[in-house]
Amino acid sequence: MKEGPDIARVAALLGDPARANMLTVLMSGRALTAAELAQEAGVTPQTASSHLAKLESGQIVVPRKQGRHRYFTLSGPDIVEALEVLMGIANRVGHNRVRTGPKYPELRKARVCYDHLAGDMGVALFDGLAKRKLIASDVNGVALTPAGIDFATMFGIDLDGLRAKRRPLCRECLDWSARQSHLAGSFGAALLDRFYDLGWARRVPESRIVRFSDTGEKSFRDLINP
Amino acid sequence: MKEGPDIARVAALLGDPARANMLTVLMSGRALTAAELAQEAGVTPQTASSHLAKLESGQIVVPRKQGRHRYFTLSGPDIVEALEVLMGIANRVGHNRVRTGPKYPELRKARVCYDHLAGDMGVALFDGLAKRKLIASDVNGVALTPAGIDFATMFGIDLDGLRAKRRPLCRECLDWSARQSHLAGSFGAALLDRFYDLGWARRVPESRIVRFSDTGEKSFRDLINP
DNA sequence: TTCATAGTTCGATGCTAATCGAAGCATTGA
DNA sequence: TCAATGCTTCGATTAGCATCGAACTATGAA
Protein backbone atom coordinates (compact mmCIF):
# COMPACT_ATOMS: atom_id res chain seq x y z
CA MET A 1 0.00 0.00 0.00
CA LYS A 2 1.42 3.34 -1.02
CA GLU A 3 1.41 6.07 1.55
CA GLY A 4 0.43 9.66 0.99
CA PRO A 5 -2.44 11.54 -0.60
CA ASP A 6 -4.71 9.47 -2.83
CA ILE A 7 -4.69 11.57 -5.96
CA ALA A 8 -6.52 8.95 -8.00
CA ARG A 9 -9.66 9.50 -5.98
CA VAL A 10 -9.57 13.24 -6.51
CA ALA A 11 -8.64 12.97 -10.18
CA ALA A 12 -11.35 10.39 -10.78
CA LEU A 13 -13.92 12.84 -9.42
CA LEU A 14 -12.76 15.39 -11.97
CA GLY A 15 -12.39 12.81 -14.72
CA ASP A 16 -15.97 12.52 -15.93
CA PRO A 17 -17.25 14.81 -18.69
CA ALA A 18 -20.44 15.73 -16.88
CA ARG A 19 -18.74 16.51 -13.60
CA ALA A 20 -15.96 18.39 -15.36
CA ASN A 21 -18.52 20.57 -17.09
CA MET A 22 -20.18 21.36 -13.78
CA LEU A 23 -16.93 22.25 -12.13
CA THR A 24 -15.83 24.37 -15.05
CA VAL A 25 -18.95 26.47 -14.96
CA LEU A 26 -18.57 26.83 -11.19
CA MET A 27 -15.18 28.42 -11.82
CA SER A 28 -17.11 31.59 -12.48
CA GLY A 29 -17.41 31.85 -8.72
CA ARG A 30 -21.19 31.94 -8.79
CA ALA A 31 -23.35 29.48 -6.91
CA LEU A 32 -25.50 27.43 -9.24
CA THR A 33 -28.49 25.22 -8.64
CA ALA A 34 -28.65 21.51 -9.31
CA ALA A 35 -30.96 22.13 -12.25
CA GLU A 36 -28.60 24.67 -13.78
CA LEU A 37 -25.66 22.33 -13.34
CA ALA A 38 -27.64 19.50 -14.92
CA GLN A 39 -28.28 21.69 -17.92
CA GLU A 40 -24.67 22.83 -18.17
CA ALA A 41 -23.53 19.22 -17.94
CA GLY A 42 -26.01 18.01 -20.53
CA VAL A 43 -27.49 15.30 -18.33
CA THR A 44 -30.85 14.67 -16.66
CA PRO A 45 -31.51 15.94 -13.12
CA GLN A 46 -31.24 12.36 -11.83
CA THR A 47 -27.80 11.94 -13.30
CA ALA A 48 -26.78 15.38 -12.09
CA SER A 49 -27.98 14.49 -8.60
CA SER A 50 -25.83 11.40 -8.62
CA HIS A 51 -22.76 13.33 -9.75
CA LEU A 52 -23.30 16.13 -7.25
CA ALA A 53 -23.60 13.58 -4.47
CA LYS A 54 -20.19 12.27 -5.40
CA LEU A 55 -18.63 15.70 -5.66
CA GLU A 56 -20.11 16.67 -2.32
CA SER A 57 -18.98 13.47 -0.64
CA GLY A 58 -15.48 14.08 -2.04
CA GLN A 59 -15.57 17.68 -0.74
CA ILE A 60 -15.06 19.13 -4.18
CA VAL A 61 -18.25 21.16 -4.01
CA VAL A 62 -20.17 22.65 -1.11
CA PRO A 63 -24.00 22.65 -1.13
CA ARG A 64 -26.33 25.24 0.32
CA LYS A 65 -30.11 24.85 0.52
CA GLN A 66 -32.49 27.73 -0.11
CA GLY A 67 -36.12 26.61 -0.11
CA ARG A 68 -36.38 23.80 -2.58
CA HIS A 69 -33.29 24.98 -4.44
CA ARG A 70 -29.88 23.51 -3.76
CA TYR A 71 -26.98 25.77 -4.68
CA PHE A 72 -23.43 24.52 -5.17
CA THR A 73 -20.06 26.23 -5.10
CA LEU A 74 -16.51 24.95 -5.37
CA SER A 75 -15.08 23.99 -2.00
CA GLY A 76 -11.91 26.02 -2.28
CA PRO A 77 -9.50 27.89 -4.52
CA ASP A 78 -7.37 24.76 -4.76
CA ILE A 79 -10.09 23.21 -6.92
CA VAL A 80 -9.86 26.19 -9.28
CA GLU A 81 -6.12 25.77 -9.37
CA ALA A 82 -6.44 22.08 -10.17
CA LEU A 83 -8.86 22.81 -12.99
CA GLU A 84 -6.59 25.53 -14.41
CA VAL A 85 -3.59 23.19 -14.35
CA LEU A 86 -5.58 20.41 -15.99
CA MET A 87 -6.81 22.86 -18.62
CA GLY A 88 -3.21 23.81 -19.30
CA ILE A 89 -2.24 20.18 -19.81
CA ALA A 90 -5.30 19.48 -21.97
CA ASN A 91 -4.41 22.51 -24.06
CA ARG A 92 -0.78 21.41 -24.45
CA VAL A 93 -1.59 17.84 -25.43
CA GLY A 94 -4.32 18.89 -27.80
CA HIS A 95 -7.36 17.63 -25.92
CA ASN A 96 -9.57 20.49 -26.90
CA ARG A 97 -13.21 20.64 -27.63
CA VAL A 98 -13.38 23.25 -30.29
CA ARG A 99 -16.35 25.13 -31.60
CA THR A 100 -15.84 27.80 -34.22
CA GLY A 101 -16.92 31.17 -32.96
CA PRO A 102 -15.66 34.28 -31.25
CA LYS A 103 -15.93 33.09 -27.65
CA TYR A 104 -12.76 31.06 -27.36
CA PRO A 105 -10.46 34.00 -28.15
CA GLU A 106 -12.49 36.10 -25.75
CA LEU A 107 -12.01 33.48 -23.02
CA ARG A 108 -8.30 33.63 -23.61
CA LYS A 109 -8.26 37.41 -23.48
CA ALA A 110 -10.13 38.09 -20.23
CA ARG A 111 -12.24 35.85 -18.08
CA VAL A 112 -13.22 35.25 -14.52
CA CYS A 113 -11.25 32.62 -12.71
CA TYR A 114 -13.40 31.98 -9.64
CA ASP A 115 -13.48 35.64 -8.56
CA HIS A 116 -10.44 37.25 -10.12
CA LEU A 117 -9.25 38.22 -13.57
CA ALA A 118 -7.64 35.52 -15.73
CA GLY A 119 -6.56 35.32 -19.35
CA ASP A 120 -4.07 37.49 -21.18
CA MET A 121 -5.26 40.57 -19.36
CA GLY A 122 -5.03 38.78 -16.02
CA VAL A 123 -1.45 37.88 -16.79
CA ALA A 124 -0.73 41.43 -17.93
CA LEU A 125 -2.15 42.69 -14.65
CA PHE A 126 0.15 40.44 -12.67
CA ASP A 127 3.15 41.44 -14.79
CA GLY A 128 2.36 45.15 -14.52
CA LEU A 129 1.93 45.05 -10.74
CA ALA A 130 5.23 43.19 -10.40
CA LYS A 131 7.06 45.58 -12.71
CA ARG A 132 5.72 48.55 -10.76
CA LYS A 133 6.91 46.74 -7.60
CA LEU A 134 3.45 46.77 -6.12
CA ILE A 135 3.66 43.02 -5.46
CA ALA A 136 6.65 40.85 -4.55
CA SER A 137 7.45 37.25 -3.71
CA ASP A 138 6.99 35.84 -0.29
CA VAL A 139 6.39 32.42 1.19
CA ASN A 140 2.79 32.46 0.10
CA GLY A 141 3.79 33.24 -3.43
CA VAL A 142 3.18 36.94 -3.71
CA ALA A 143 2.38 39.76 -1.33
CA LEU A 144 1.65 43.44 -1.57
CA THR A 145 4.66 45.69 -1.09
CA PRO A 146 4.35 48.92 0.93
CA ALA A 147 4.01 50.76 -2.38
CA GLY A 148 1.34 48.28 -3.32
CA ILE A 149 -0.58 48.99 -0.17
CA ASP A 150 -0.56 52.71 -1.02
CA PHE A 151 -1.67 51.96 -4.54
CA ALA A 152 -4.54 49.79 -3.35
CA THR A 153 -5.82 52.53 -1.08
CA MET A 154 -5.54 55.15 -3.81
CA PHE A 155 -7.33 52.84 -6.20
CA GLY A 156 -10.27 52.60 -3.83
CA ILE A 157 -9.77 49.17 -2.33
CA ASP A 158 -10.52 48.61 1.35
CA LEU A 159 -7.50 46.60 2.43
CA ASP A 160 -8.57 46.46 6.08
CA GLY A 161 -11.82 44.90 4.97
CA LEU A 162 -9.93 42.38 2.85
CA ARG A 163 -7.52 41.53 5.66
CA ALA A 164 -10.51 40.73 7.87
CA LYS A 165 -11.27 37.82 5.59
CA ARG A 166 -9.67 34.45 6.22
CA ARG A 167 -7.87 34.18 2.91
CA PRO A 168 -4.61 35.49 1.55
CA LEU A 169 -4.58 38.95 0.00
CA CYS A 170 -2.46 37.79 -2.91
CA ARG A 171 -2.06 34.35 -4.40
CA GLU A 172 -0.59 33.21 -7.65
CA CYS A 173 -2.79 31.21 -9.98
CA LEU A 174 -1.50 29.48 -13.10
CA ASP A 175 -3.32 30.59 -16.20
CA TRP A 176 -3.92 27.69 -18.60
CA SER A 177 -4.39 29.90 -21.63
CA ALA A 178 -1.34 32.10 -21.17
CA ARG A 179 0.77 29.49 -19.39
CA GLN A 180 1.78 32.20 -16.93
CA SER A 181 0.44 33.48 -13.64
CA HIS A 182 -2.38 35.79 -12.82
CA LEU A 183 -3.33 37.28 -9.46
CA ALA A 184 -5.79 35.43 -7.26
CA GLY A 185 -6.55 36.07 -3.58
CA SER A 186 -8.87 38.60 -2.01
CA PHE A 187 -6.88 41.49 -3.45
CA GLY A 188 -7.07 39.98 -6.91
CA ALA A 189 -10.80 39.61 -6.51
CA ALA A 190 -11.14 43.18 -5.22
CA LEU A 191 -9.27 44.51 -8.26
CA LEU A 192 -11.72 42.84 -10.61
CA ASP A 193 -14.67 44.13 -8.61
CA ARG A 194 -13.16 47.62 -8.83
CA PHE A 195 -12.84 47.31 -12.62
CA TYR A 196 -16.55 46.46 -12.68
CA ASP A 197 -17.38 49.38 -10.37
CA LEU A 198 -15.39 51.80 -12.50
CA GLY A 199 -17.22 50.60 -15.57
CA TRP A 200 -14.05 49.42 -17.22
CA ALA A 201 -15.31 45.85 -17.60
CA ARG A 202 -18.41 43.72 -17.21
CA ARG A 203 -19.30 40.08 -17.07
CA VAL A 204 -20.81 38.53 -20.16
CA PRO A 205 -23.99 36.81 -18.93
CA GLU A 206 -23.93 33.00 -18.78
CA SER A 207 -20.23 32.97 -19.43
CA ARG A 208 -16.88 33.43 -17.78
CA ILE A 209 -15.89 36.05 -20.32
CA VAL A 210 -15.01 39.49 -18.97
CA ARG A 211 -15.44 42.16 -21.61
CA PHE A 212 -13.57 45.44 -21.29
CA SER A 213 -14.88 48.58 -22.97
CA ASP A 214 -12.45 50.46 -25.18
CA THR A 215 -11.99 53.20 -22.61
CA GLY A 216 -11.85 50.61 -19.85
CA GLU A 217 -9.09 48.72 -21.57
CA LYS A 218 -7.15 51.93 -22.13
CA SER A 219 -7.47 52.81 -18.45
CA PHE A 220 -6.39 49.30 -17.57
CA ARG A 221 -3.31 49.55 -19.78
CA ASP A 222 -2.48 52.93 -18.24
CA LEU A 223 -2.82 51.42 -14.78
CA ILE A 224 -0.33 48.65 -15.31
CA ASN A 225 2.06 50.62 -17.49
CA PRO A 226 1.89 54.37 -16.60
CA MET B 1 -20.82 20.92 -26.97
CA LYS B 2 -18.64 22.88 -24.56
CA GLU B 3 -15.63 24.59 -25.97
CA GLY B 4 -12.19 24.72 -24.43
CA PRO B 5 -9.75 22.23 -22.96
CA ASP B 6 -11.14 18.81 -22.18
CA ILE B 7 -10.03 18.42 -18.60
CA ALA B 8 -12.06 15.26 -18.06
CA ARG B 9 -9.80 13.35 -20.44
CA VAL B 10 -6.66 14.47 -18.64
CA ALA B 11 -8.13 13.93 -15.19
CA ALA B 12 -9.42 10.50 -16.16
CA LEU B 13 -5.88 9.50 -17.14
CA LEU B 14 -4.71 10.46 -13.67
CA GLY B 15 -7.75 9.00 -11.96
CA ASP B 16 -6.79 5.34 -11.83
CA PRO B 17 -4.88 4.01 -8.82
CA ALA B 18 -2.33 2.12 -10.88
CA ARG B 19 -1.61 5.03 -13.19
CA ALA B 20 -1.52 7.47 -10.30
CA ASN B 21 1.09 5.32 -8.55
CA MET B 22 3.22 5.28 -11.67
CA LEU B 23 3.02 9.01 -12.12
CA THR B 24 3.76 9.64 -8.46
CA VAL B 25 6.93 7.61 -8.54
CA LEU B 26 7.97 9.37 -11.75
CA MET B 27 7.79 12.64 -9.85
CA SER B 28 11.25 11.75 -8.58
CA GLY B 29 12.49 12.88 -11.98
CA ARG B 30 14.12 9.58 -12.77
CA ALA B 31 13.27 7.53 -15.83
CA LEU B 32 11.82 4.15 -14.92
CA THR B 33 11.26 1.01 -16.95
CA ALA B 34 7.91 -0.56 -17.65
CA ALA B 35 8.76 -3.41 -15.29
CA GLU B 36 9.66 -1.03 -12.47
CA LEU B 37 6.47 0.93 -13.00
CA ALA B 38 4.45 -2.28 -13.00
CA GLN B 39 5.95 -3.17 -9.65
CA GLU B 40 5.37 0.28 -8.22
CA ALA B 41 1.79 0.18 -9.41
CA GLY B 42 1.18 -3.30 -8.04
CA VAL B 43 -0.09 -4.73 -11.32
CA THR B 44 1.13 -7.29 -13.83
CA PRO B 45 3.33 -6.22 -16.75
CA GLN B 46 0.37 -6.71 -19.11
CA THR B 47 -1.76 -4.34 -17.11
CA ALA B 48 1.09 -1.88 -16.80
CA SER B 49 1.61 -2.03 -20.56
CA SER B 50 -2.00 -1.15 -21.11
CA HIS B 51 -1.83 1.78 -18.70
CA LEU B 52 1.42 3.09 -20.15
CA ALA B 53 -0.05 2.97 -23.63
CA LYS B 54 -2.85 5.21 -22.43
CA LEU B 55 -0.53 7.60 -20.65
CA GLU B 56 1.71 7.78 -23.71
CA SER B 57 -1.19 8.33 -26.07
CA GLY B 58 -2.42 11.11 -23.78
CA GLN B 59 1.08 12.66 -23.74
CA ILE B 60 1.34 12.38 -19.98
CA VAL B 61 4.51 10.29 -20.18
CA VAL B 62 7.28 10.11 -22.74
CA PRO B 63 8.86 6.75 -23.61
CA ARG B 64 12.48 6.07 -24.56
CA LYS B 65 13.78 2.70 -25.73
CA GLN B 66 17.18 1.38 -24.69
CA GLY B 67 17.78 -2.16 -25.85
CA ARG B 68 14.82 -4.17 -24.72
CA HIS B 69 14.06 -1.75 -21.92
CA ARG B 70 11.49 0.99 -22.30
CA TYR B 71 12.04 3.94 -19.96
CA PHE B 72 9.34 6.45 -19.14
CA THR B 73 9.45 9.99 -17.84
CA LEU B 74 6.80 12.59 -17.21
CA SER B 75 6.14 14.70 -20.28
CA GLY B 76 6.56 18.05 -18.59
CA PRO B 77 6.67 20.02 -15.35
CA ASP B 78 2.98 20.79 -15.71
CA ILE B 79 2.26 17.15 -14.93
CA VAL B 80 4.23 17.49 -11.71
CA GLU B 81 2.28 20.61 -10.89
CA ALA B 82 -1.02 18.86 -11.53
CA LEU B 83 -0.01 15.98 -9.27
CA GLU B 84 1.10 18.35 -6.52
CA VAL B 85 -2.18 20.26 -6.68
CA LEU B 86 -4.19 17.03 -6.61
CA MET B 87 -2.14 15.83 -3.66
CA GLY B 88 -2.94 19.07 -1.89
CA ILE B 89 -6.65 18.56 -2.46
CA ALA B 90 -6.49 14.90 -1.43
CA ASN B 91 -4.67 15.94 1.71
CA ARG B 92 -7.24 18.65 2.54
CA VAL B 93 -10.25 16.42 1.99
CA GLY B 94 -8.74 13.53 3.88
CA HIS B 95 -8.16 11.11 1.01
CA ASN B 96 -4.94 9.75 2.37
CA ARG B 97 -3.49 6.33 2.24
CA VAL B 98 -1.71 6.07 5.51
CA ARG B 99 0.80 3.53 6.62
CA THR B 100 2.29 3.79 10.06
CA GLY B 101 6.00 4.35 9.86
CA PRO B 102 8.63 7.08 9.63
CA LYS B 103 8.49 7.74 5.92
CA TYR B 104 5.47 10.00 5.70
CA PRO B 105 6.91 12.67 8.02
CA GLU B 106 10.15 12.42 6.08
CA LEU B 107 8.29 12.97 2.82
CA ARG B 108 6.73 16.07 4.28
CA LYS B 109 10.07 17.36 5.52
CA ALA B 110 12.21 17.08 2.41
CA ARG B 111 11.62 15.31 -0.87
CA VAL B 112 12.36 15.55 -4.52
CA CYS B 113 9.66 17.08 -6.65
CA TYR B 114 10.76 16.09 -10.15
CA ASP B 115 14.23 17.60 -9.84
CA HIS B 116 14.01 20.20 -7.10
CA LEU B 117 13.51 20.32 -3.36
CA ALA B 118 9.99 20.07 -2.02
CA GLY B 119 8.53 19.67 1.45
CA ASP B 120 8.92 21.88 4.49
CA MET B 121 12.55 22.50 3.66
CA GLY B 122 11.70 23.32 0.08
CA VAL B 123 9.21 25.87 1.28
CA ALA B 124 11.73 27.25 3.78
CA LEU B 125 14.23 27.58 0.92
CA PHE B 126 11.75 29.59 -1.12
CA ASP B 127 10.87 31.76 1.86
CA GLY B 128 14.51 32.37 2.76
CA LEU B 129 15.51 33.34 -0.78
CA ALA B 130 12.57 35.76 -0.96
CA LYS B 131 13.35 37.27 2.43
CA ARG B 132 16.97 37.76 1.41
CA LYS B 133 15.65 39.38 -1.80
CA LEU B 134 17.48 36.88 -3.95
CA ILE B 135 14.26 36.11 -5.84
CA ALA B 136 11.33 38.33 -6.71
CA SER B 137 8.04 38.19 -8.57
CA ASP B 138 7.79 38.58 -12.27
CA VAL B 139 5.41 37.47 -15.00
CA ASN B 140 6.72 33.93 -14.87
CA GLY B 141 6.13 33.80 -11.16
CA VAL B 142 9.57 34.36 -9.72
CA ALA B 143 12.93 35.42 -11.07
CA LEU B 144 16.41 35.87 -9.66
CA THR B 145 17.23 39.41 -8.59
CA PRO B 146 20.68 40.91 -9.28
CA ALA B 147 21.64 39.98 -5.71
CA GLY B 148 20.34 36.52 -6.41
CA ILE B 149 22.56 36.21 -9.45
CA ASP B 150 25.59 37.12 -7.34
CA PHE B 151 24.56 34.64 -4.71
CA ALA B 152 24.14 31.84 -7.24
CA THR B 153 27.62 32.43 -8.61
CA MET B 154 29.13 32.54 -5.15
CA PHE B 155 27.28 29.35 -4.24
CA GLY B 156 28.89 27.54 -7.18
CA ILE B 157 26.05 27.44 -9.64
CA ASP B 158 26.76 27.95 -13.34
CA LEU B 159 23.99 30.34 -14.32
CA ASP B 160 25.21 30.67 -17.90
CA GLY B 161 24.93 26.93 -18.25
CA LEU B 162 21.42 27.01 -16.79
CA ARG B 163 20.33 29.87 -19.07
CA ALA B 164 21.41 27.79 -22.06
CA LYS B 165 18.65 25.36 -21.24
CA ARG B 166 15.19 25.90 -22.65
CA ARG B 167 13.40 26.19 -19.34
CA PRO B 168 12.85 28.99 -16.87
CA LEU B 169 15.47 29.54 -14.22
CA CYS B 170 12.86 29.96 -11.51
CA ARG B 171 9.33 28.67 -11.30
CA GLU B 172 6.94 28.43 -8.44
CA CYS B 173 5.54 25.04 -7.57
CA LEU B 174 2.75 24.50 -5.08
CA ASP B 175 3.75 22.13 -2.31
CA TRP B 176 0.91 19.82 -1.31
CA SER B 177 2.30 19.05 2.10
CA ALA B 178 3.06 22.60 3.19
CA ARG B 179 0.31 24.23 1.17
CA GLN B 180 2.84 26.86 0.13
CA SER B 181 5.31 27.28 -2.69
CA HIS B 182 8.72 25.84 -3.26
CA LEU B 183 11.21 26.68 -5.99
CA ALA B 184 11.14 24.73 -9.23
CA GLY B 185 12.91 25.59 -12.50
CA SER B 186 16.47 24.95 -13.55
CA PHE B 187 17.83 27.12 -10.74
CA GLY B 188 15.73 25.21 -8.21
CA ALA B 189 17.09 21.95 -9.59
CA ALA B 190 20.65 23.28 -9.54
CA LEU B 191 20.31 24.26 -5.90
CA LEU B 192 19.32 20.72 -4.96
CA ASP B 193 22.19 19.27 -7.00
CA ARG B 194 24.53 21.63 -5.19
CA PHE B 195 23.21 20.43 -1.82
CA TYR B 196 24.04 16.89 -2.94
CA ASP B 197 27.49 17.96 -4.18
CA LEU B 198 28.25 19.69 -0.91
CA GLY B 199 27.27 16.57 0.98
CA TRP B 200 24.50 18.38 2.80
CA ALA B 201 21.81 15.99 1.55
CA ARG B 202 21.35 12.75 -0.30
CA ARG B 203 18.56 10.85 -1.96
CA VAL B 204 17.09 7.93 -0.11
CA PRO B 205 17.22 5.04 -2.61
CA GLU B 206 13.89 3.92 -4.09
CA SER B 207 12.16 6.91 -2.59
CA ARG B 208 11.52 10.59 -3.11
CA ILE B 209 12.82 11.35 0.35
CA VAL B 210 15.77 13.74 0.58
CA ARG B 211 17.66 13.25 3.80
CA PHE B 212 19.84 16.06 5.15
CA SER B 213 22.72 15.31 7.47
CA ASP B 214 22.83 17.24 10.75
CA THR B 215 25.67 19.45 9.54
CA GLY B 216 24.01 19.75 6.15
CA GLU B 217 20.78 20.91 7.67
CA LYS B 218 22.64 23.43 9.80
CA SER B 219 24.42 24.80 6.72
CA PHE B 220 21.09 24.93 4.91
CA ARG B 221 19.48 26.90 7.75
CA ASP B 222 22.47 29.28 7.76
CA LEU B 223 22.12 29.74 4.02
CA ILE B 224 18.51 30.85 4.10
CA ASN B 225 18.71 32.76 7.35
CA PRO B 226 22.27 34.11 7.84
C1' DT C 1 22.43 -20.80 -32.41
C1' DT C 2 19.86 -21.16 -28.30
C1' DC C 3 18.02 -19.59 -24.10
C1' DA C 4 16.57 -15.97 -21.01
C1' DT C 5 14.49 -11.61 -20.27
C1' DA C 6 11.65 -7.42 -21.24
C1' DG C 7 7.65 -6.07 -22.93
C1' DT C 8 3.39 -6.35 -25.83
C1' DT C 9 -0.84 -8.27 -27.74
C1' DC C 10 -4.97 -11.08 -27.60
C1' DG C 11 -9.03 -12.66 -25.66
C1' DA C 12 -11.91 -13.65 -21.81
C1' DT C 13 -13.87 -12.21 -17.45
C1' DG C 14 -15.87 -9.48 -14.09
C1' DC C 15 -16.78 -5.25 -12.08
C1' DT C 16 -17.88 -0.43 -11.86
C1' DA C 17 -20.08 3.53 -13.13
C1' DA C 18 -23.08 6.46 -15.99
C1' DT C 19 -27.44 6.75 -17.73
C1' DC C 20 -32.57 7.55 -17.34
C1' DG C 21 -37.75 6.28 -16.59
C1' DA C 22 -40.66 5.99 -12.84
C1' DA C 23 -41.82 7.18 -8.38
C1' DG C 24 -41.38 9.75 -4.22
C1' DC C 25 -40.27 13.73 -0.99
C1' DA C 26 -39.85 18.67 0.18
C1' DT C 27 -41.02 23.30 -0.73
C1' DT C 28 -43.58 27.06 -2.74
C1' DG C 29 -47.41 29.41 -4.93
C1' DA C 30 -52.29 29.74 -6.17
C1' DT D 1 -55.85 22.34 0.35
C1' DC D 2 -54.04 21.31 -3.98
C1' DA D 3 -51.03 21.73 -7.90
C1' DA D 4 -46.54 22.85 -9.58
C1' DT D 5 -41.66 22.76 -9.19
C1' DG D 6 -37.04 21.29 -7.57
C1' DC D 7 -34.66 17.56 -6.38
C1' DT D 8 -33.69 12.80 -4.80
C1' DT D 9 -34.09 7.81 -4.74
C1' DC D 10 -34.84 3.31 -6.82
C1' DG D 11 -34.05 -0.11 -10.08
C1' DA D 12 -32.81 -1.65 -14.59
C1' DT D 13 -29.73 -1.32 -18.50
C1' DT D 14 -25.59 -0.81 -20.90
C1' DA D 15 -21.04 0.42 -21.95
C1' DG D 16 -16.47 0.83 -20.68
C1' DC D 17 -12.50 -0.40 -18.32
C1' DA D 18 -9.15 -2.97 -15.44
C1' DT D 19 -7.48 -7.28 -14.80
C1' DC D 20 -4.57 -11.38 -16.04
C1' DG D 21 -3.35 -16.10 -18.38
C1' DA D 22 -1.53 -17.46 -22.56
C1' DA D 23 1.05 -16.56 -26.44
C1' DC D 24 3.99 -13.73 -29.14
C1' DT D 25 7.88 -10.42 -30.49
C1' DA D 26 12.24 -8.10 -29.76
C1' DT D 27 16.64 -7.86 -27.60
C1' DG D 28 20.68 -9.46 -25.20
C1' DA D 29 23.71 -12.95 -23.08
C1' DA D 30 25.83 -17.46 -23.07
pLDDT in tens, A78-133: 999 899 999 999 988 887 776 544 567 788 889 888 888 988 899 899 989 988 98
Which alpha helices (H) appear in A133-175, and where do they start and end? 146-154, 159-163
Quote the DSSP letter at residue A204.
P
> In angstroms, rounded to a whole number, what is the distance separating the alpha carbons of residues A102 and A30?
23
Sorted by where each starts, the structural domains of chain B and their CATH numbers stand as 7-75 (1.10.10.10), 80-224 (no CATH)
Residues 6+ apart with CB under 8 A from B160: none
Comparing C-alpha atoms, which of A131, A142, A188, A88 is closest to residue B130? A142
Please provide the average confidence, as pLDDT, over all residues in chain B.
Answer: 87
Contact residues, chain A, for B3 at CB < 8 Å: 97-99, 101, 103-104, 107
Taking only the tens place, the pLDDT of each residue in B57-75 is 999 999 998 888 999 999 9
Taking only the tens place, the pLDDT of each residue in A182-191 is 888 889 999 9
Residue of A3, A106, A137 for testing the chain B interface, max B β-carbons within 10 Å: A137
ipTM over 0.90: no
Contact residues, chain B, for A126 at CB < 8 Å: 139
- Kindly report the number of other CB atoms within 10 A of residue A101's CB atom: 9
Comparing C-alpha atoms, which of A64, A2, A43, A137 is closest to residue B95? A2
Taking only the tens place, the pLDDT of each residue in B13-70 is 999 999 999 999 898 888 899 999 998 888 999 999 999 999 999 999 999 988 889 9
Shortest Cα–Cα distance, A186 to chain B (Å): 17
Helix (H, G, I), strand (E, B) or coil at A81: helix
pLDDT (0 to 100) of residue B107? 80
> In angstroms, rounded to a whole number, what is the distance separating the alpha carbons of residues A180 and A42?
31
Indicate yes or no: CB of A11 within 8 angstroms of CB of B15.
yes
Strands (E), chain A: 4-5, 32-33, 61-66, 69-74, 96-97, 111-113, 116-118, 135-138, 141-144, 171-175, 180-184, 201-203, 210-212
